Structures are given as structure tokens and as C-alpha cells.
Amino acid sequence: MLEMLLSPRRAERNPWEMFFVGLFYASLSVLLVNWIFSSDAVLSKYSGMLVVTFSVMFSLPFMFYLIKNEEEKDMAYEGMLRILREHSKALIALLWLFLGFIVAFSFWHIVLPSNQSFQVQIETYCLINKPTKFEECVNEYEVEGRAKTTAFLTAKDRIFMIFANNVYVLIFTLVFSLIFGAGAIFILAWNASVIAAAIGIFTKSNLNQLPLGILRYMIHGLPEIAAYFIAALAGGIISVAVIKHDTKSEKFWSILQDSLNLIIIAIVILFIAALVEVFITPILF
């Protein structure tokens, strides 16, 4: 029934509506997990993963039909610019969905009395930002804290580290979408929850600072996520084309070329996002 909230075609006409769908899906996931599993001695330890899993379950029907529509566009249209323009409509809708996830996850991370629902996300944040002081970081940020940058690294080292990590995520997104066209939504929902944990840390769990925290991470976060969504669309398009047996036609190779172009564009965007994260974000925050 939830998949009837918004169709992919309507989402492309009014992409901003996906923001509220993302808000609803993420909030429902957090509330259901807290209501059903909070008293379970075992499953409560994995609330962070369960929140992501529920969000993925709610989003899968939309993702499947959206990717199916994008593959049909590759079959129907000619010309790289025309195809990219058509794909951009889906990309904008997905970005609004992701932003809805971010806002909802961040809100509940701050509002809930315990960070148990985002425990694994906090641990992931600490593993990335303070690997040598992991336990200290987790203990500190479970209650309150503020994100700190790795200032001891040179700008060149930070760019390489950020870009390499983002390419690693992009590869996983591509593989997931190739195996199961809509499967990349798991990687993307997971990243939304980790960013939300980082926003909660940055704001010191102060709800009044939530807009500032979202802005701080979205300056470079939106280009990164756009790149992941582009890779997800590319992999999903290939996956759907293979399922529909388009491999026997010449059009399949055109689809393959279009998908490869999308992946190259995604890598370029990731590099630009790394530059923004290293040189622009620290100046503003």
C-alpha cells in the first residue's frame, strides 16, 4: 500500500514531493524499530541496521519501477544529451528522497532519548574519523560531541583519502544495482543514516542547530550522493536491460555505452565533491 504514495512518473513531474516521502519512510522506520525492537535484548543492539532495512523495504517498489522507466528511456531516445536530460529528472527525484531521509534521521537522532537506534552509525563515523581512538570516540559521541577533522593530514592526503573512500562506495553501489536493479537503495539509505549521525554529532544534539548541521554536510554531501545515484541508475539500467533480454539487440550496446558514460560522470562528480569537502566546507564551518 505504501508504494502507492507516489509513482515514478509523478515523481519526475513533481520531484520535491519525494522529500516528504523520504521523511515519512525514514520516520516510520525509526518509530517502528523503536516500538517493536527496543525491548528485545538481542535485536535492540542492531537497531541501526534495522532502521536502514525498513527504509529500504519501503523504498524498493519505487526504486524498481523508477529504474525500469529509465531503461525504457534508453530504449526510446537517441542522443547522449537527450538521454542525460531524461535521466536528470529521476536523479532529482532521488536526491529529494535522500534529503528526506537525512532530515528525518537527523531529527530522530537528536530527539530520541537514546542514540541506540543509530549506534552502528556512530561507530561507523568514529571508524572513519578516529580509527586510532575508536572506543574513546564511541563513548564520547554516544552522549554528545562535535565532529573533528583530520587536521594532521595534508590537503592532498585528505583529497585522496576522501576520493578513494567515495569511489569504494560507488563501486559497491554499482555492484548492488547490477545484481538487483533496486538494490543500491540499501547503500544509499545506509549513507543517509551515517550522515545523520554525523549531523547529530556536529550539532551536539541541539535541535536548533539542525539546519546548520544539514547545510554543513550537504555542501559536499549532495554531489557525492548524486554521483552514487547516477551509478545506481547506470547499474540498474544494465540490470533491467539484461533481464528483458535486450542483450540480443544492437540497442543493448547503446544502453551499455550510455551507462558507462554515466559512471564516468559520477566519478568526475565525486572528485569535485572531494575538493569541495577539503577546501570549501572548512572555510564555511
Give Cβ neighbours of residue 41 (< 8 Å, ≥ 6 apart).
none
Model pLDDT for residues 165-200, shown as the tens digit of each residue: 889 889 988 888 887 766 678 888 888 998 888 888
Helices (H), 77-184: 80-111, 119-129, 134-141, 155-179
Residues of the chain with pLDDT under 70: 1-13, 41-42, 70-84, 86, 113-117, 128-134, 140-153, 181-183, 244-247
pLDDT of 147 reads 40
Query: Which pLDDT belongs to residue 74?
Result: 60
Task: Give 197's DSSP letter.
Answer: H
Cell of 181: 536493479
Q: Which three cell numbers stand for residue 141?
A: 559521541
What is the value of pTM for the model shown? 0.78
Are 96 and 15 in contact, with CB atoms under 8 Å apart?
yes
Percentage, residues of the chain above pLDDT 70: 76
Counting Cα atoms < 13 Å in the Cβ hemisphere of 137 gives 23
Output the pLDDT for position 77: 58
- Predicted pLDDT at 238: 81
Per the CB < 8 A criterion, the answer to whether 166 and 227 are in contact is yes
- Nearest CA-CA partner of 189 in 8, 28, 16, 4: 28
Question: Residue type for 11, please?
Answer: A
pLDDT score recorded for residue 148:
43
| pLDDT at residue 107, rounded to an integer | 92
The predicted-structure confidence for 211-240, as pLDDT tens digits, reads as follows: 888 888 889 888 998 899 888 888 877 877
Q: Could you tell me if 173 and 188 are in contact, meaning their C-beta atoms sit under 8 angstroms apart? A: yes
